Amino acid sequence: MKTTWATARAWRLRRHFLSGERGTDVAEVVGRLTTVPAWSGDPELAVALRLRDPRPGAVGAALAAGTLIRTYAFGGATHLMRPEDAGAVLALRASGRQWQRKSWQSHYRLRPDDWPELRAVVRDALAAGPLTRPELAAIVTADPRFAHLGGAFTDASHTFLKPFAWQGDLVLGPMRDAEVTLQGLAGSPGWTGIPDLDDAGRHCIVQYLAAYGPAPAEQLQSWFGEGLSAGRKNIDRWVNELGDRLTRIDIDGAHALALSEHVDDVRDAQPDGRVDLLPGHDQWVRGPGTADTHIVPAPLRPAATKGMNLVLQDGLVRGTWKATARNLAITWGGEGPAPTDALRSAAERVAVLLGRPDLDVVFSTTP
């Protein structure tokens, strides 16, 4: 099958709930996107833009209810995921077994065979409810075997906490007096633990292509290899094992992979000139990566990489936007005249979702 990047983007916009039917709830949207950054940008706005009936604080409510979790994932940064999807992502991230490296063993004075008992102490400590890092450190260091780890648990980098998260021992809980808390996963609906690595890998590739396909094979390597340290050989093997579930597509002369069940829908998708305003670090650009010029033209890559709010036209980044004290200012950087009516309509919707419907929409153009 042959198609164009414009057609592929049109299909992907529907899959992202940015055109066509919107998502029914927060968990559906986050599940479709596979993950949503929690460390930067505006996750509430990113989700609200994709919901049929957006409500203030919906992401926070989903976290409180346990239908979303917040944990360390891609690149070690914090992300929102559904509990039922998180196990597969974490299985890939844990496969690198960072805690077995000699540098970790010497720095933290822990051997690989110390970790099972340490993890058990952490899980037991969190069984009664969320704890701050100092509270967890106090419990763990009461065990003489781990008395030297207080600084590791409270270090500002959170580095030492990440292997516990990758193995399903903890996630980030609600804030308490401006201090992050940690909590166990036992009570999270949908959490079934860390699956077999190969099952997890195949699941993650299918889930990724369902939202970001058709995608070149190198894009999978970037997302799962660089993001989760999954390993090139594993990723290639999982693609091969999926067999007929995947179809190879020619997109403007480039080879890409799509789920076979979606090929007809990709072929029939049509761009319609739609305009969207997205928050910085939105999954629309993070999923394929800001180096993908079919999503982010090279002149606008610095803005996307820095996490500036982005303007899309037919899924292609065309400019940036910023909410100021009085205005929602749009800077158009695309070819041709700015579609001001469509931009104004999209901006007014964003202003309402931000709780600032009185913002004036103003335009400028990059030289």
pLDDT tens digits, residue range 144-164?
999 999 999 999 999 999 999
Q: What is the pLDDT along the chain (367 residues), one digit of tens a residue?
A: 899 999 999 999 999 999 999 999 999 999 999 999 998 889 999 999 999 999 999 999 999 999 999 999 998 899 999 999 999 999 999 999 999 999 999 999 999 999 999 999 999 999 999 999 999 999 999 999 999 999 999 999 999 999 999 999 999 999 999 899 999 998 788 999 999 999 999 999 999 999 999 999 999 999 999 999 999 999 999 999 999 999 999 999 999 999 999 999 999 999 999 999 999 999 999 999 999 999 999 999 999 999 999 999 999 999 999 999 999 999 999 788 899 999 999 999 999 999 999 999 999 987 6
For every residue of 90-118, which 3-state class applies, written as one string? HHHHHCCCHHHCHHHHHHHCCCHHHHHHH
CA 123 from chain centre, in angstroms, equals: 26
**Residue 339, preceding peptide bond in cis (omega within 30° of 0):** no
Q: Distance between CA atoms of 80 and 68, rounded to whole angstroms?
A: 6
Query: So where are the chain's domains?
Result: 275-365
Helix axes 133-141, 115-126, angle to 10 degrees: 130
Nearest to 69 by CA among 53, 91, 50, 89: 89
- In whole angstroms, give the CA distance from residue 174 to residue 131: 10
Q: Which helix (H) or strand (E) holds 133?
A: helix 133-141
What tokens were used for 316? 């292609």
Residue type, 264: D
AA identity, residue 93: R
pTM value is 0.95
Q: Of 365, 315, 324, 316, which Cα lies nearest the Cα of 347?
A: 324
Distance CA 343, CA 250 (A): 32
